[in-house]
Amino acid sequence: MTEIPDHLLKRAQEAKDKAAAKKAAAADDSGADAPAGGSEPSDSSGSSVDSRIPAHLLARSKSAKAKKSGADAGGDAPAGGTATVTKTADAPVVSAGALPTGAGPGGHTQRLLTTVKSGSIQDVKSKPVDKVHVWPHLLVVEFVAALACTAFVFVFSWLVNAPLLELANFNQTPNPSKAPWYFLGLQELLTMFHPMVAGVTIPGMGIFILILAPYIDKNPSNKPEDRKFAISLMTVHLMFWAVLVIIGSFFRGPGFNFTLPWVDGLFFEL
């Protein structure tokens, strides 16, 4: 059974209440029955139809049933037969005869948009895209991040004093003499290779390989199992430099000789 829209049911109930009020007013004034136009619609057996369906829809349904029963009995519609349409405030009422122009399957003349919610036929969801412009989407975020880091470093340097030592004494060189922790990896390479190799060749090759990495691995996936080359390259780079920094920080003693921190002590200061 076709579901009747809520606005039609509401309109039918208002019309029914209005007719009942008019009947009661007429009975109070003259003691007579309500006019024939105010009575409820009746079905084919003469009984009152207790329904909230508007009268024009009932008339349209009866017309369609009569047309269908005539077609089943073998009766053809008269040649050139037209339907008499009476326009009302709500919708046209079609008298018995041919179906109205523009009727759909089964004689239904309701418009689609009156019975179907707009959400089921309209695509209101935005489709995700995998590409955005560098400006302003990326650069604005990076600029805000740079400002936040600058502000943090400024406040931190204002509140916390740097771990500076006493004035340098050129007659007494500290032993061991170590570079800051972020340069200890390079200082460790200097103990193993020629300065040209340790300071230029090896770091330059590492930086060049990292520059070529996005052009070698072009997989757009964000899953680690799909980016084995990129993850392996970055892991090797970080582990290589981290191991050199750890050795230079905790395993180098006087004369920058190899030592064990749990035996000879720790020769490292921030």
Condensed to tens digits (0 to 9), the pLDDT of residues 251-270 reads 998 888 888 989 888 887 76
**How large is the average pLDDT for residues 224-238?**
88
Q: Cα separation of 251 and 246, whole Å?
A: 7
pLDDT for the residue numbered 22: 87
Percentage of the chain beyond pLDDT 70 is 68
Q: How far is CA 259 from CA 133, 195, 198, 241, in A?
A: 53, 23, 22, 19
pLDDT for the residue numbered 156: 93
**Residue, of 179 and 97, whose pLDDT is higher:** 179
- And the tokens for 1? 């059974």
* Packing angle of the helix pair 202-216, 228-250 (nearest 10 deg): 160
Q: Cα separation of 129 and 152, whole Å?
A: 34
Task: Judge contact between 132 and 98, C-beta under 8 A.
Answer: no
Note the maximum CA span of the chain.
130
Averaged pLDDT of the chain: 76
pLDDT for the residue numbered 45: 43
pLDDT for the residue numbered 129: 67
- Residue showing tokens 């005539």: 70
**How large is the average pLDDT for residues 218-238?**
87
pLDDT for the residue numbered 101: 58
CB atoms inside a 10 Å sphere around CB 46: 6
Band of pLDDT at residue 200, cut at 50, 70 and 90: very high
Condensed to tens digits (0 to 9), the pLDDT of residues 74-124 reads 555 444 444 444 444 444 444 545 555 555 556 666 655 555 555 555 655
Question: Taking the alpha carbons of 172, 178, 181, 186 in that order, is the dihedral positive or negative?
Answer: positive
Q: Compute φ and ψ for 93, nearest 5 degrees.
A: -100, 125
- What residues pair up with 252 in beta bridges, in sequence order? 258
Please give the sequence-ordered ranges of beta strands (E in DSSP) within 26-132, or none if there are none: 85-86, 93-94
Under DSSP, the state recorded for 121 is T
- Residue 73 predicted with pLDDT over 80: no
Under DSSP, the state recorded for 198 is I
Residue 259, Ramachandran bin (φ over 0: left; ψ between -120 and 50: alpha; else beta): beta
- Could you check whether the bond before residue 176 is cis, i.e. omega within 30 degrees of 0? yes
- What residues pair up with 48 in beta bridges, in sequence order? 42
pLDDT for the residue numbered 104: 59
Closest to 205 measured CA to CA, from 229, 237, 235: 237
**How large is the average pLDDT for residues 144-172?**
89
Condensed to tens digits (0 to 9), the pLDDT of residues 18-60 reads 888 888 888 777 654 444 444 444 444 444 444 567 788 888 8
Condensed to tens digits (0 to 9), the pLDDT of residues 148-159 reads 999 999 999 999
**How large is the average pLDDT for residues 238-254?**
91
Under DSSP, the state recorded for 183 is G
- Residue 214 predicted with pLDDT over 60: yes
